[in-house]
Chain A
Amino acid sequence: MEAEDDAAGAIIGDEEIYANVRDETDSQRHRPIISGEQLDVEAYAALYTGRTKTTRLLFIADKCGAPSMELEALRMAYDEIKKGENTQLFREVVGKINGRLGPNYALDDAWADAVDRRAELKKDKLENELNAYRTNLIKESIRMGYNDFGDFYYAHGQLGEAFKNYVRTRDYCTTSKHIIHMCLNAILLSIEMGQFTHVTSYVGKAEQTADGLDPVTIAKLRCAAGLSHLEGKKYKLAARKFLEVGPELGNNYTEVISPQDVATYGSLCALASFDRSELKSKVIDNTNFRNFLELVPEIRELINDFHTSHYASCLEYLGNLKTNLLLDIHLHDHVETLYEQIRSKALIQYTLPFVSVDLNMMANAFNTSVTGLEKELEALITNDQIQARIDSHNKILYARHADQRNGTFQRVLQTGNEFDRELRAMLLRANLIKHDYNLKAARKH
């Protein structure tokens, strides 16, 4: 029973660890963006570039529920869009702002029309160029032409067209660099459009090109693969992919994902799906991943707590992070499931080493009430994830290991009975069919 005493004693100590985060001790590093405090929209958005920045800002505005944060996000989105050429999105954002940010953030029709007119002109120009290249049949220029078209449509928010054009360059790719370029574009667009099956296939395609894969590209591809697994709810595979991402990623893929995200997604998926040994070898002892974990110290603490069985503090960290994680565009749908899985794992891991567990101490360790704990344990036992029985009178959990010998006898008798029944039924049916057949044969004659 020592483990529980330690847990009970260490709970007080955890407050200090938690409090450390707010110190300025790691001020030389980037202040943690994903933390228990309210999300700093500006700092968060600074992690990303390109279209994903706007999409994420809009997502935050939609989901955050606090008008101040919402307006902040919308303001930044407006600024960002003004720098680009996407008039469709522009109108959307203005609609959402609804005049709440004053006259500077109203619908600037003049700007929008100018952009649209420029777009028309550019499009005609590009088309003419492309036709010229096509008649000349120079592969490289055709490829560049389609690429330009793709870029153009992407900038204007017409994702489907952009995707089509990028894919068309495939026929004109001559070197593996070209292929990788095409794949990366296709991946980017598929992620934006939310079609993660394409992501997986293009990642596969890119990884198969023999040469030309520098570490940065490999890291990018692994991130993309991880994202697609995450969306497909394959948390174990997602975790593995994210954990394999090398530190070379740095800030090279900010149009899709930031290093903090890699750390967060990877750790949460790993916690929810890995068993203890895998967690230790792949996460805690993983030197590469340590670089990422430094960017999100709360998650690092969380994992260590889980591994050292300080479940109360681990779950507390998780609770604090929840609101901010819900604002993340990729993680939003999966937060609940992941949290549930992590909690169940904690409960199971707690009871695993013991023959009997006092439910009162366990409730303390997990910071819940005994009745609530009993209900959770009941669900886990019914799902066969814990082999134990609850003594509700004395509030003790007893481990219960099925008697193999009795179980075998029971199964043998049951199988015998089933075989008997099935065989007899089969013989009867065969007889009926034979009878039918004879009848038909008799009728024929």
Chain B
Amino acid sequence: MNLSMSSVESLVAQIHGLSSNIGELTQLRNYLKQCDDLLRTESTRLAPLLTELDPSVHSLGYLYILEACTSAPISKDQANKLVLSVARFINVCAAEQIRLAPEKFISICKRLMLQVMLLEDPMRGVAPLLTSIRKLQSSTEQLTTLHPDFMLLCLLSKCYKIGLSVLEDDIFEVDLPRDLFLYCYYGGMICIGQKQFRKALELLHNVVTAPMPIISAIAVEAYKKYILVSLIHLGQQFATSFPKYTSSAAQRNLKNFSQSYLELVNSYSTGKVSEVEKCVEIYKDTFGSDNNLGLVKQVVSSMYKRNIQRLTQTYLTLSLQDIANTVQLNSPKEAEMHVLQMIQEGDIYATINQKDGMVRFLEDPEQYKTCEMIERLDFSIQRIMRLSKKLTTMNEVMSCDPSYLGKVGKERQRFDYDDFYTVPSKFTI
């Protein structure tokens, strides 16, 4: 269909007219859907239309036209302009309107990301994508397709703190499993970068144990990092067996892809730093090709920490020379440095007596009597109560679900007059 100026103008007029309330907006959306092909064919000539529309009021219409505009291949100099215009749109658009056409919104955000990466300036994409996530989400518990892209941008531009702030939200609703995997994987990497190993472990654990019919490469990479982070955070308590709820595909296959990492776990469990270092030497190439060498080095240094921590359980005072011998460090000076670092990071409680060359290990001074502690307890209790309530509602919703009832009803015996089940069974007479 040939586009004449009149139909374009009518399009603009429609947008102007139908943008006031939700009923009109749905009508507008249907109309725009019909015009989609039209818009696509005329993509190059649509730019002037944008000037006639106000993105904050006519967000839906603006979105469609913008999307059509950007669908054409973009040259490098135009990329900059594109980035600016999309970013501006994202900032001012109305959230309810764009939620009516989420796929279009997602596609322009993805294009923004692409351009930003081509321009090799990922930091420019961070803020717009953050805004876009907040606008697209129907609640903070929902994971959108934009989340993993946002995480990736944070990683590439090293804006870890922003990434962390998004990770603070609990996710309970997911559109696509693949989004979740990528989100957790990148999120885990951000947490590792910020040395928040507990949260990283949680995220990676979610990937590894998520239900998946076939194993995905993301899960394999996540498992490798999971092993390394658990060694750093939990030490020898790392269990190589999967929890019961892991999918069978994962249970069968994940270990095959991470043999060298499991070897590392074995050498770690011997408790000797020399063993671990030997293992690292052997598998250096594998670790390097997976970009995990940094993590592996952290694993080795965590070994020293664990050994020193074990000493606090058996000794009250110990000479630096003895520490150096037990933990296989080269000199008392090194031992002193390690202990000092651990005291500063809060891993152990001790005092160093340099005159005698002795370290005195103290008990954890936390007495659990302060107001802060009570507040912490209270906060935890409230949180758990909320979560439990959520669980109960979810249970109730599911027990009213017709497909569930149908399945349960089928397995019940027929002709049970004495039972008081409220679930109707299916009779076949």
B and A form one assembly: yes
Q: Does B403 contact A (CB under 8 A)?
A: yes
A-contacting residues, B387-404, CB 8 Å:
387-388, 390-391, 394, 403
Any B CB within 8 A of the CB of A406: yes
A389 to B206, CA, bound (A): 40
> Is A278 located at the chain interface by the 8 A CB criterion?
no
| Interface flags, B46-78, vs A, CB<8A=1, else 0 | 000000000000000000000000000000000
Q: How far is the CA of A424 from the CA of B206 in the complex (A)?
A: 10
Chain A CB within 8 A of B405 CB: no
In the assembled complex, how far is the CB of residue B213 from the closest CB belonging to chain A, in whole angstroms? 8
Q: How far is the CB of A308 from chain B (nearest CB, A)?
A: 29
Nearest CB on A from B193, distance (A): 21
Q: How far is the CB of B235 from chain A (nearest CB, A)?
A: 14
Q: Mark B155-185, 1 if CB is under 8 A from A, else 0.
A: 0000000000000001111111100100000
A436 touching B367, Cβ below 8 Å: no
Which of chain B's residues have a CB closer than 8 A to the CB of A441?
A: 403
The verdict on A427 contacting chain B, using a C-beta distance below 8 Å, is: yes
- Whether the Cβ atoms of A436 and B384 lie closer than 8 Å is no
* Nearest chain A residue, comparing its CB with the CB of B373: A409
**Using an 8 Å CB-CB cutoff, how does the interface string of A382-419 with B read, 1 for contact, 0 for none?**
10000001111110001000010110010011001101
Q: Does B366 contact A (CB under 8 A)?
A: yes
The residues of A that contact B322 with a CB separation of less than 8 Å are: 392
User: Within the assembled complex, what's the spacing in Å between the Cα atoms of A390 and B359?
Assistant: 12
Q: Is B210 close to A, CB under 8 A?
A: yes
B317 and A430 within 8 A (CB)? no
Residue B13 interfacial (CB < 8 Å): no
A427, B206: Cβ atoms closer than 8 Å = no
Within the complex, the shortest CB–CB distance from B271 to chain A, in Å, comes to 11
Contact of A378 among B314, B366, B394 (CB under 8 A): B314
A164 to B376: give the CA distance in the assembly, Å.
72
Total A-B residue contacts, Cβ distance less than 8 Å: 99
Known: A425-B209, A431-B174, A432-B210. A393 touches B319 (CB 8 A): yes
Interface flag for B358 (CB, 8 Å): yes
Is A37 part of the contact surface with B, judged by Cβ < 8 Å?
no
Chain A residue numbers with a CB within 8 Å of B376 are 413
* In-complex Cβ contact of B387 among A392, A420, A429 (8 A): A420
- Check A423 for interface membership: any CB of B closer than 8 A: yes
Please name all residues of chain A whose beta carbon is closer than 8 Å to the beta carbon of B315 when the two chains form the complex: 378, 389-392
Q: Are B316 and A427 touching (Cβ within 8 A)?
A: no
CB distance from A211 to the nearest CB of B (A): 51
Given A393-B356, A413-B377, A429-B209: A436 and B177 interface contact (C-beta under 8 Å): yes
Q: Is A381 an interface residue when CB atoms closer than 8 A count as contact?
A: yes
Could you say which residues of chain A place their CB within 8 Å of the CB of B173?
Answer: 431
Q: A406-B366, A413-B376, A432-B180 are in contact. Are A381 and B211 (CB under 8 A)?
A: no
CB distance from B351 to the nearest CB of A (A): 12
In the complex, which residue of chain A has the Cβ closest to the Cβ of B395?
A: A430
**Does chain A have a CB within 8 A of B313?**
yes
A433→B173 CA distance, assembly (Å)? 11
Flag whether A421 is at the interface (Cβ < 8 A): yes
Known: A427-B172, A427-B394, A441-B403. A435 touches B314 (CB 8 A): no
Nearest residue (CB) in B for A389 is B316
Select the residue from A430, A432, A436 with max chain B CB neighbours within 10 A.
A432
On whether A390 and B316 interact (CB within 8 A), knowing A420-B383, A436-B177, the answer reads yes
Would B319 and A425 count as touching, CB distance under 8 A? no
B318 within 8 Å of A (CB atoms): yes
Tell whether, in the assembled complex, residue A398 and residue B316 are in contact, meaning their CB atoms are under 8 Å apart. Answer: yes
Interface residues contributed by chain A, number (CB under 8 Å): 35
Q: Verify if A428 is at the interface (C-beta below 8 Å from B).
A: yes
B8 to chain A, nearest CB (A): 37
Q: Mark A369-383, 1 if CB is under 8 A from B, else 0.
A: 000000000100110
Interface: B202 (CB within 8 A): yes
Name the interface residues of B166-221: CB closer than 8 Å to any CB of A: 170-177, 180, 202, 205-206, 209-211, 213
| Chain A residues with CB below 8 A from B317, complex form | 391-394
Q: How many residues of B contact A (CB 8 A)?
A: 47
Query: Which chain A residues border B356 with CB–CB below 8 Å?
Result: 393
Contact A416 B380 (CB under 8 A): yes
| Separation of A425 and B377 alpha carbons in the complex (Å) | 21
- The answer to whether residues A425 and B318 also contact, given A382-B310, A431-B174, A435-B177 and a CB cut-off of 8 A, is no
User: CB distance A420 to B384 under 8 Å?
Assistant: yes
Instruction: Flag whether B368 is at the interface (Cβ < 8 A).
Output: yes
Question: Which of B314, B373, B384, B394 is A430 in contact with, Cβ under 8 Å?
Answer: B394
Q: How far does the alpha carbon of A421 sit from the alpha carbon of B199 in the complex, in Å?
A: 10
Interface contact B391-A435, CB-CB below 8 Å: no
CB-nearest residue of chain A to B323? A392
CB proximity to A under 8 Å, residues B327-385:
356, 358, 361, 363-364, 366-368, 373, 376-377, 380-381, 383-384
Taking CB atoms, residues of chain A closer than 8 Å to B388 are 423
Q: Given contacts A431-B174, A432-B177, are A382 and B313 in contact (CB under 8 A)?
A: yes
Interface residue B245 (Cβ < 8 Å from any Cβ of A): yes
Which of the listed residues B316, B366, B390 has the most CB atoms from chain A within 10 Å of its own CB?
Answer: B316
With A428-B172, A436-B177 known as contacts, the answer to whether A416 contacts B314 (CB < 8 A) is no
The answer on a CB contact under 8 Å between B314 and A428 is no
8 Å CB contact of B316 from A391, A405, A430 = A391
Cα distance, A392 to B211, chains bound together (Å): 52
A contact residues around B172 at 8 Å (CB):
424, 427-428, 431
Contact flag A381-B314 (CB < 8 Å), given A432-B180, A432-B211: yes
Q: Are B387 and A423 within 8 A (Cβ)?
A: yes
Chain B residues 77-96 with CB under 8 Å of chain A are none
Provide the residues of chain B in CB contact with A430, threshold 8 Å: 394
Q: Is the CB of A429 within 8 A of B210?
A: yes
Other contacts beyond A406-B364, A432-B177: 17, CB < 8 A? A382-B313, A389-B316, A390-B316, A391-B315, A392-B318, A393-B319, A403-B363, A409-B373, A413-B376, A416-B381, A419-B384, A421-B202, A423-B384, A427-B387, A427-B391, A428-B171, A428-B174
6 pairs across A/B with beta carbons < 8 Å? A382-B314, A420-B383, A423-B391, A427-B387, A431-B172, A432-B210
| A residues apposed to B, CB below 8 Å | 378, 381-382, 389-394, 398, 403, 405-406, 409, 412-413, 416-417, 419-421, 423-433, 435-436, 441
What 4 pairs across the A-B complex have the smallest Cβ distances?
A409-B368, A393-B317, A391-B316, A381-B314
